[in-house]
Amino acid sequence: MSVLPVEATDTTAPPPEAAPPSADLPLRGFPAPTTAPTTAPASRRGTRIALPVALALLAVPLITAAHHSRLAPYGDHLTVHTRVADAERAGEPELRRAGRAVEAYDPVSGKARWTYAREGRRPLKTLGAPGHAFTLWSDGLVTDTARADGGSVRWHRAAPGSAAWLRGEAARGGAGVLQPLTPGARMLAVVTPHRVAAYRAVDGDLRWVLPARPGCAFVPSRAVRTRGALLLAQPCASPGASWTSQVIAVDDYGRIVPGRTPLGNGDLGPEK
């Protein structure tokens, strides 16, 4: 019996073809991507909402404390002791200097209405006018406080270079520095050796400045008022200076000289 030749065949199955890389599988050498869950757990959502609310609640007392700890401008400490419902009927309080403060007392009951002090400063002189309480301080600052109720310090104005002079004996404690220029002190003059500055009382607006002549100086304590004018002594060092040049007359429009044309003071009408 003959045997027929049979061709040898490879019975080994071919290796399966490599599947193409899927986008869901990590590439070799790179970390596997992380996929955030489509929905956050309820507890995590609650935390995200509660955290800003808690921070806001914690910030409220901090902001309040910061507000109260801010230093007042110019070191002001204005304290109202008695509220005044009707300032016009209540009348103007009496002004007194007590140590480092200005005090206002009711003229009928004698009770304190308000107290005004400044850190590290002393009031040297006060000048009362309808609706105004002007004060000269040891650092050369001039202030105006609402006189009837002490509701506010309306304005602060500095007299340049006056602090050192006020500490000396020649200043006589600031005598004559505050000078009203009109009835009711609608205009206020601040007289120092080197200059005279006039302010509108209602808002502290600077209206005019009169410097002393070279070699001369104003003496506030020797000021005299007559016929609507304020006469200021201005002694000069020169022995040849005439006496007429050493006396200056001013009013609310400035220096009084023949033929002057005042520009006006921008009157704002009656004060309320």
pLDDT digits (tens, 9 = 90+) for 99-152: 999 999 999 889 999 999 999 999 999 999 999 999 999 999 999 999 999 999
Q: pLDDT at position 25, please? A: 44
Q: pLDDT at position 271, please? A: 54
**81-85, 118-122, 236-240, 265-269: the lowest-pLDDT one:** 265-269
**27-36, 80-89, 90-99: the lowest-pLDDT one:** 27-36
Q: What are phi and psi of 34, to 5 degrees?
A: -105, 140
Q: pLDDT at position 193, please? A: 97
Q: pLDDT at position 2, please? A: 45
pLDDT bin (cut points 50, 70, 90) of residue 70 is very low
Among 44, 126, 106, 118, smallest CA distance to 79 is for 118
Residue 60 has pLDDT above 80, yes or no: no
Residue 62 has pLDDT above 90, yes or no: no
Question: Domains in the chain and their CATH numbers?
Answer: 71-158 (2.40.10.480), 172-260 (2.40.10)
pLDDT bin (cut points 50, 70, 90) of residue 21 is very low
Give this prediction's pTM.
0.71
Tens of pLDDT, residue by residue over 188-238, are 999 999 999 999 999 999 999 999 999 999 999 999 999 889 999 999 998
Strands 132-137 and 141-146: antiparallel
